């Protein structure tokens, strides 16, 4: 069986490249222990990163990479495309019947690949994601590990039904995504196409599962600029998504403010009650709360700005 691994290179530009190096090392190490053929499709925008750089980076990152492994890598340049559109291109170009979509900034833990494949073979028609959690090796990672939208790392290794999975690591039949690509966003938002896709697939009867034993770590926002832009963009995206949902009897602005308050309250609650899950020391708790409340203040500013200056915020804060 040929398995196509679709790797977008956009997140590698946002995070530190040492994470991409560790992702590549982990993937090749795990794939060598599995009796399947793999092809890797690296979909990238040549305006920002050239094929020659990526190829050189891979060879230097995986020291014992073989010539067969090098030839299994295909580079797909697509100018002007972003995250979800790059993934759609990878789906179209893939040769394998089975797809693994993997982000360039997540780091798989031991047996991640084996566990995804085992779940896929048992549930061929389902979309199966791994458990993505925030890398909490730094203070910023501890803050976002408790206060962002990712779950905390758990010792639970069960396979469970879910409403959503993260697009950063999942396995699926190629035919499913060929017939159901990520929908195009209308330019108002930069994230959320996956939520629309999961909703659509559930309505069509597809199962969405999470294998909690197939774990990957995801980085917190990298650097001050990414922190600021991500907070503003997330607020904008949540507001515009509320506006587009057109739920009867619900005012988008009111719903947005409720979401912001709930997120801020969870920051305080989880920093106090779940700090041990990310090894947060007692004296770090108030500082973690301050950091994440500031993030959700940016979230609030992004949403309010989008209510007042919708055209301007559509063009700003690309993530």
**Closest to 175 (Cα-Cα) out of 210, 118, 124:** 124
Find all residues with CB under 8 Å of 89, minimum gap 6, and list them: 43, 76, 78, 81
What is the DSSP code string of 171-182? Answer: EEEHHHHHHSPP
**Closest to 88 (Cα-Cα) out of 15, 197, 162, 186:** 197
Per-residue pLDDT reduced to its tens digit, 259-278:
999 999 999 999 999 999 99
For residue 40, the model assigns a pLDDT of 98
3-state DSSP assignment of residue 173 = strand
Helix or strand holding residue 218 (H, E): strand 208-218
Per-residue pLDDT reduced to its tens digit, 207-254:
999 999 999 999 999 889 999 999 999 999 999 988 887 677 789 999
**What's the rounded mean pLDDT across residues 91-105?**
97
Residue whose structure tokens are 């774990």? 215
For residue 187, the model assigns a pLDDT of 64
Least confident residue range of 147-156, 184-193, 258-267: 184-193
H helix and E strand count, the chain: 13, 9
Helix or strand holding residue 160 (H, E): strand 159-161
Is a pLDDT exceeding 80 seen at residue 319? no
In angstroms, the CA 276 to CA 51 distance is 42
For residue 189, the model assigns a pLDDT of 67
What are the tokens at 290?
A: 């301050």
For residue 32, the model assigns a pLDDT of 96
Mean pLDDT of the residues in the chain: 94
In angstroms, the CA 151 to CA 163 distance is 14
For residue 228, the model assigns a pLDDT of 96
Q: Are 107 and 135 in contact (CB under 8 A)?
A: yes
User: What domains appear along the chain, each with residue ranges and CATH number?
Assistant: 2-218 (3.90.550.10), 223-315 (no CATH)
In angstroms, the CA 276 to CA 281 distance is 8
């Amino acid at each position: 069986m040929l398995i196509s691994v679709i790797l977008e290179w956009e997140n590698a530009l946002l995070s530190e490249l040492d994470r991409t190096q560790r992702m590549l090392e982990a993937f090749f190490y795990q794939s060598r222990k599995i009796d399947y053929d793999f092809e890797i499709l690296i979909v990238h925008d040549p305006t920002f990163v050239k094929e020659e750089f990526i190829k050189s980076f891979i060879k230097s990152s995986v020291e014992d990479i073989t010539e067969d492994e090098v030839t299994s890598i295909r580079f797909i340049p697509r100018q002007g495309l972003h995250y979800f559109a790059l993934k759609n291109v990878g789906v179209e170009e893939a040769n394998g019947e089975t797809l693994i979509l993997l982000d360039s900034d997540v780091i798989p833990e031991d047996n991640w690949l084996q566990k995804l494949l085992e779940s896929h073979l048992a549930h061929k028609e389902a979309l199966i994601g791994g458990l993505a959690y925030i890398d909490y090796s730094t203070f910023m990672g501890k803050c976002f590990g408790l206060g962002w939208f990712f779950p905390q790392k758990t010792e639970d290794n069960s396979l469970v039904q879910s409403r959503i999975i993260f697009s950063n690591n999942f396995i699926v039949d190629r035919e499913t995504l060929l017939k159901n690509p990520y929908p195009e966003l209308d330019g108002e938002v930069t994230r959320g196409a996956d939520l629309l896709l999961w909703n659509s697939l559930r309505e069509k009867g597809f199962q969405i599962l999470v294998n909690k034993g197939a774990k990957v770590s995801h980085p917190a926002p990298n650097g001050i600029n990414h922190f600021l832009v991500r907070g503003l963009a997330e607020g904008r995206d949540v507001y515009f998504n509320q506006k587009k949902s057109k739920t009867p009897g619900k005012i988008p602005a009111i719903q947005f403010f409720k979401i912001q308050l709930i997120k801020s309250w969870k920051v305080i609650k989880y920093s106090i009650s779940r700090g041990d899950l990310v090894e947060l020391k007692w004296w770090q708790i108030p500082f973690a709360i301050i950091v994440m409340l500031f993030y959700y203040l940016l979230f609030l500013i992004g949403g309010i700005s989008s209510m007042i200056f919708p055209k301007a915020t559509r063009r700003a804060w690309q993530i």
